[in-house]
Amino acid sequence: MPRDLRTLPCHCHVCDPPAQSTERQARITGDVNSHGWHVVGVREQEHVPGWGYSIGLWHTHRSLELAVFGLRTETCMQVINAAGDLVKNGREFRPDDLVDDVINNYRLAVRYIHNSWYGDLFGQALDFYQQPPLAFLQLVWPDEQHRFPWDDGVDEHCRDVQPQLWLPHDEHPDGPWRRLRDEGPWLFTGGCPDDMVYTTKRVMAGETTVTGVVHDSDGDWQFLDGGSTEEGDAVLVHLRHVVERQPHVVALADLPEGTQSWQQHDGRWVRFPHAFADE
């Protein structure tokens, strides 16, 4: 991050709170207030590896936010927390650095992430900060022979699961990362692709169709099929995954908080206040 950005005011949800916050926004703000940052973990999809990234390092420490890709989601989050602890103790991560104290016995390469990727990969950070400045660094890990994705002879897995985010989106080699944008604009303005939402195992397996959508007053989403929602039937998944498997639910993307909608026998969706769900 250019040093002059450090002097700019922060307009995040801590510094400039919104009039109303969803449960997710409140959770992120709470973590930033209590811990200094929040970590988002995005589960791998069918064709796209998972990733993790920080929210709040710039607010708390005027450090660039950090992201890592292609490891298990839990591992990505652990790496971000380990790096965040270093930032807390005074470390400054800079583009083109090599760091050897984040992952034992491995060096990480630090690369500046081009801002053309922010909307595709860091939606919750954009929401939290509300407006610039915002900048991200990618922590790039090597293969077992300590070769990085740009090195000759690097293991193909190491190369393929990590995007080259220092390149502008339009210059990135074709592949799953570039094609994320091909899914079209994100329509759920009340939720980010990596928000956790409530649905059933039947819906995710394609055995049933979503016929009811609930947008709780706290901002959470439920995608229901009219069947049992007992503990063994319910599951928490990323909102993006529900949209991928049940694309018709985008018709309910504008459902206000505190509202539910159920599909009728004639195919129409009828909306009701969620407060009357049990009446």
What is the rounded distance in angstroms from the CA atom of residue 53 to the CA atom of residue 40? Answer: 5
Q: Side-chain half-sphere of 45: how many Cα atoms within 13 Å? A: 17
Q: What is the pLDDT of residue 208?
A: 94
Q: Which two three-digit tokens encode residue 246?
A: 């049940």
Do 167 and 198 contact (CB within 8 A), yes or no?
A: no
| Whole-number Å distance between alpha carbons of 135 and 95 | 11
> What is the 3-state secondary structure of 167-207?
CCHHHCCCCHHHHHHHHCCCCCCCCCCCCEEEEEHHHHHCC
Calpha distance 215→207 (Å, rounded)? 23
Which pLDDT tens digits describe the chain residue by residue (279 residues)? 455 677 789 999 999 999 888 778 899 999 999 999 999 998 887 678 989 999 999 999 999 999 999 999 999 999 999 999 999 999 999 999 999 999 988 999 999 999 999 988 998 899 999 988 889 999 999 999 999 999 999 999 999 999 999 999 999 998 889 877 766 656 676 677 778 899 999 999 999 999 999 998 888 899 999 988 777 889 999 888 898 889 889 888 888 888 999 999 888 899 988 764 443
Overall pTM surpassing 0.95 (yes/no): no
Q: Is the CB of residue 171 less than 8 Å from the CB of residue 129?
A: no
Tokens of 118: 């922010």
Beta bridge partners of 197: 237
Closest by CA to 42, choosing from 250, 240, 253, 247, is 240
Whole-angstrom distance, CA of residue 134 vs CA of residue 96:
19
